[in-house]
Structure 1
């Protein structure tokens, strides 16, 4: 992409947490192209903290699409405020109709979206959405970057505030975790993305028997599943779900030896922390482009199934009732990979 001179840039990303994190490398590259440019972001309430922790974002405009900005009248008021900023460029990794509508109404001179956007004609320029690309690579192609080699593997930068670092240091010291621990993230919005609870319990019991320190991480909505697993896995398993913010959890992961997670946002939080991540694919597959991509990480997936993948996100339950994509990915197989990774990186 050509050098931008004192541009006012708007990035629209109102999707889930993982999508927000994977937008950060694109923003970092935009800043590198010209540090004098101002980059603002439209986010949803749950992801605003991630963009606030980026040193490359000037201002976050929170779009509460299920609350105060619900409906066209409220959305148009939100857009009217944005118009005052007179943006010269707009990039929308998010492909929803709402993002396209915002783009149309703002009438930014140069707007960029993907060719599979819900309304691609809202954008002056359309980039090809290559399903075989990693999401980071796709987003970099949106801003015109050449990604023919591994130069696309830019890790997301999230700055943990000093007050949060001190909070985490106290937590680590009080629980004798300074030599590291294994983090496990068992939750997901999509149930068919979730590795079976009883399998996680078996894995944690095995790791505990080898004297590894163990922490179950997640958000407020993951507290129930984390506590259920901890109760059955052993009294020494810690739970931080709901205790730390997203940015604080990224700070906590910097102390971890390894993160084991579903195909969900913690995979990408692990990339922010630049630690070894093992992602377990149940109903989804790595070729959708959301796998861990630093040199320390990998994934496991049982792919010998005609029904897999059954969807790009997942479902509340297995569409055919078998859930073989998860059940055939046995704890013994996962434990073997965990031990291989620990032996490599310790």
Structure 2
């Protein structure tokens, strides 16, 4: 139920649209948490895919409404059905944090109903200038989380983001407690996979990093999902005594709980980085075709923990769907395992 506005006595209900991808939705969760802490009279109705609900499970003042793009909400008629479902919340405003075809159509329906709508500025021109091959403009763009916050500011809700990590330890699943039984070393998560191949650090090089952590006596947990990723993680588990695969063994909510107990996460520019950020865990992130300048660094993470090489060809892509060739090699090939190991040593591992 909507919360009462402490100032006017009226209900303030904001619909929030962000349907995908997993990392982007996790960043939204970080922003909404800070917004409701600063504006306790608000009720935020988060509209996203059902599988991503765990990101918002412990945020007071956030109601989750599932979006089924391949079910009842498919096509124009399905979106109209979703519009009618959302109208029942009696929203006072819409924050479109996706700005794709579906969210724009929904936003139009609400705007025609007299509801205030503000939409995400994706800064396409600036991102194109950052990634083009010639006359590249190398400068840090506004962080995506600040762009999300701008939408609420335009709706009349000033907010300030802390950009700090806040540890949120959650109870471990019973079946995961064995993974934390050894108190001798640190607990290191590795999320070595990504949707787009140019974001992935070569597995043979990542294995050198894993071998180092194993020799140091640290427990290594490998995160991911899918058959191919499960096979890679299983191979590492078979070869190293301190390595454990958690691929496809736990629900998203359980994975978040496990991540909340890590000392550090090693991740690509991928959902693993944003999940760790949501739990307040430090991330050593590895960047190839993409670049932190594009604004997608994990919430609360710092540039000094980004592992990358400087090259005029980088970045070649915002989302990692295009390869980045530097001096005849993929940019990931220029990152030696020792660079990651040195960063681990700096972190006390």
Counterpart-to-counterpart distance in 2, 1:103 and 1:204 = 47
1:69 is aligned to 2:66: no
Alignment match of 1:225 (pick from 232, 240, 262): 232
Counterpart-to-counterpart distance in 1, 2:210 and 2:200 = 16
- In the superposition, the TM-score normalised over structure 2's length comes to 0.81
The answer on whether the counterparts of 2:259 and 2:281 sit within 8 Å (CA) in structure 1 is yes
Alignment match of 1:236 (pick from 233, 242, 253): 242
Matches within 5 A, 1:131-142: 132-142=141-151
Indicate the SS of the match to 2:346.
helix
1:49 is aligned to 2:48: no
**1:122 corresponds to:** none
Q: 1:38 to 1:178 in 2, by over 3 A?
A: farther
Indicate the SS of the match to 1:22.
helix
Q: 1:177 to 1:167 in 2, by over 3 A?
A: farther
**1:299 corresponds to:** 306
**1:27 corresponds to:** 32
The answer on whether the counterparts of 2:315 and 2:324 sit within 8 Å (CA) in structure 1 is no
Counterpart-to-counterpart distance in 2, 1:25 and 1:236 = 32
Counterpart-to-counterpart distance in 2, 1:168 and 1:303 = 43
**1:93 corresponds to:** 97
Q: 1:158 to 1:257 in 2, by over 3 A?
A: closer
Task: Report deviation, 1:170.
Answer: 2.9
- How many residues are matched? 321
1:202 is aligned to 2:183: no
Indicate the SS of the match to 1:342.
coil
Alignment match of 2:283 (pick from 277, 285, 289): 277
- In the superposition, the TM-score normalised over structure 1's length comes to 0.82
The answer on whether the counterparts of 2:316 and 2:323 sit within 8 Å (CA) in structure 1 is no
Structure 2: where are the runs of 5+ without partners?
A: 1-5, 125-138
Structure 1: where are the runs of 5+ without partners?
A: 119-129
Q: 1:224 to 1:257 in 2, by over 3 A?
A: same
- C-alpha RMSD of the superposition: 3.0
Task: Report deviation, 1:250.
Answer: 2.2
Task: Report deviation, 1:183.
Answer: 1.2
Alignment match of 1:258 (pick from 259, 264, 279): 264
Q: What CA deviation, in whole Å up to 9, does each residue of 1:48-77 have, x standing for no partner?
A: 22223433312x221121344221122211
Task: Report deviation, 1:320.
Answer: 9.1
1:337 is aligned to 2:343: yes
Segment drifting more, 132-141 vs 289-298: 289-298
Counterpart-to-counterpart distance in 1, 2:274 and 2:76 = 33
